[in-house]
Amino acid sequence: MLRAHHCVGGVVLTASHNPGGPEGDFGIKYNIGSGGPAPDAVTEDIYRRTQEITEYRIDDGISFDLTQIGEHKFNNGQFTVSVVDSVNTHLELLKTLFDFAKIRSYIASSSLQITADAMSGVMGVTAKRVFCQELGVSEDNLIRCTPLEDFGGSHPDPNLVYAKQLVDEMKRGVYDFGVAFDGDGDRNMILGKHGFFVSPSDSLAVIAANSQAIPYFVQNKLCGVGRSLPTSGAVDKVCEALGLAMYETPTGWKYFGSLMESGRIGLCGEESFGTGSAHIREKDGIWAALAWLSILAYRGASVESVLTSHWAQYGRHYYCRYDYEGVTTEQGAAVMAKVRNFGFDRSFPRLSA
């Protein structure tokens, strides 16, 4: 939205997986005009300025209908609020990145059965527009696509634990392709038939290896790929084989944004189920789903066969992520202190090459 409307920046109220708000599912982020998260220099400057605030004022006289698209002016036109259709703006951008007609034709001709779980988050509205109206998927196939303030009492994190409803549905063998989105729709989990799980790290590697299947990368040749430090080295092997630059960054999408701004990468991902490209300088769940559907249409193959053939060519990477929730700052600091002070026993047996 920031790029489409030529904004210098914007405050994002988001159902983030980073703990925030009374129930831990609400966050506030600031994104810069390029569309990506604010870099360290900006956030540090914002923090410095907050320490200089002596007062703030609230105008209780501003009220308008958020359902009415258009401009709402206040204080004799000195203050304007513009209400826009963000779903339509996003959809129009996606149509320039993917061949919707080709994907729709493949779904119809192959009788590909698709389901999506929006986990009662905002992506449910976009999922209906993209999958149902644009790609011909029955709305009956969609799960939890009505946004709810409390996410239906569940935690909107697209993983094997919290997206159990989708996992169980996929295990039935009715659907060939399944995707879950988190509360604000920027992260995703891809599943194949019978619940075949695609790890976020493998998903990034497969998209990089099959970039020729995605019109956006045909028009904008993929120059490099970025991954966070905890993300597996699966994409490293792809970059090495294809002669692509590969960048490892600290955790945080803002580091990818800097690489995108400098033209060094066009694709990036994290092990926390985030995948995206330079089209918005952010992770984008529906983009990842369309990238996978483009690959399936291009190769005429299933999710499982695409991944198993990928492993046969590039090797398979194993790793494990553990999530510890509700950890206090003091507990986290204690863990990090122990890690820093940990002494490695050189006599510990090592695995041979």
Establish if 26 belongs to a structural domain. no
How large is the average pLDDT for residues 95-114?
98
Q: What is the pLDDT of residue 343?
A: 61
Output 271 or 149, whichever has higher pLDDT: 271
pLDDT at 90 over 80: yes
Q: What is the pLDDT of residue 17?
A: 61
Q: How many domains would you assign to the chain? A: 1
Distance of alpha carbon 224 from alpha carbon 213, whole angstroms:
16
Establish if 251 belongs to a structural domain. yes
Establish if 156 belongs to a structural domain. yes
* Span 189-199, pLDDT tens digits: 999 999 999 99
Residue pair 266/220 in contact by the 8 Å Cβ criterion: yes
Q: What is the pLDDT of residue 81?
A: 87
How buried is 83 (Cβ within 10 angstroms: 0-12 exposed, 13-18 middle, 19+ buried)?
middle
Cα distances (angstroms) measured from residue 99 to each of 93, 176, 216, 276: 12, 20, 9, 17
* Strand pairing class (245-249; 196-198): unpaired
What residues have CB less than 8 Å from 248, skipping those under 6 apart?
Answer: 226, 227, 228, 229
Residue 290: which CATH number? 3.40.120.10
Cα distances (angstroms) measured from residue 176 to each of 38, 106, 128, 205, 339: 38, 13, 18, 21, 43
* Span 293-343, pLDDT tens digits: 999 999 999 999 999 999 999 999 998 887 777 788 899 899 888 888 876
* Helix axes of 86-97 and 285-299: crossing angle, nearest 10 degrees: 30
Q: What is the pLDDT of residue 351?
A: 43
For residue 11, what are the β-bridge partners?
Answer: 30
Active site residues per annotation: 16
Establish if 216 belongs to a structural domain. yes
| CB atoms inside a 10 Å sphere around CB 151 | 21
Residue pair 148/202 in contact by the 8 Å Cβ criterion: no
Establish if 76 belongs to a structural domain. no
Distance of alpha carbon 143 from alpha carbon 161, whole angstroms:
16
Distance of alpha carbon 104 from alpha carbon 101, whole angstroms:
5
Establish if 107 belongs to a structural domain. yes
Q: In a 3-state reduction of DSSP, which class is residue 74?
A: strand
Establish if 44 belongs to a structural domain. no
Distance of alpha carbon 240 from alpha carbon 95, whole angstroms:
31
pLDDT at 244 over 60: yes
What residues have CB less than 8 Å from 251, skipping those under 6 apart?
Answer: 228, 229, 230, 270, 272
Q: What is the DSSP letter of 37?
A: B
Mean pLDDT, the chain, integer: 90
Using a pLDDT cut of 90, give the percent of the chain over it: 64
Q: 61-65, 131-135, 340-344 — which one is most confidently predicted on average?
A: 131-135
Residue 280: domain span:
88-314
Establish if 46 belongs to a structural domain. no
Q: In a 3-state reduction of DSSP, which class is residue 263?
A: coil
Would you place residue 283 in the very low, low, confident or very high pLDDT band (cuts 50, 70, 90)? very high
pLDDT at 243 over 80: yes
What residues have CB less than 8 Å from 98, skipping those under 6 apart?
Answer: 214, 215, 216, 290, 291, 294
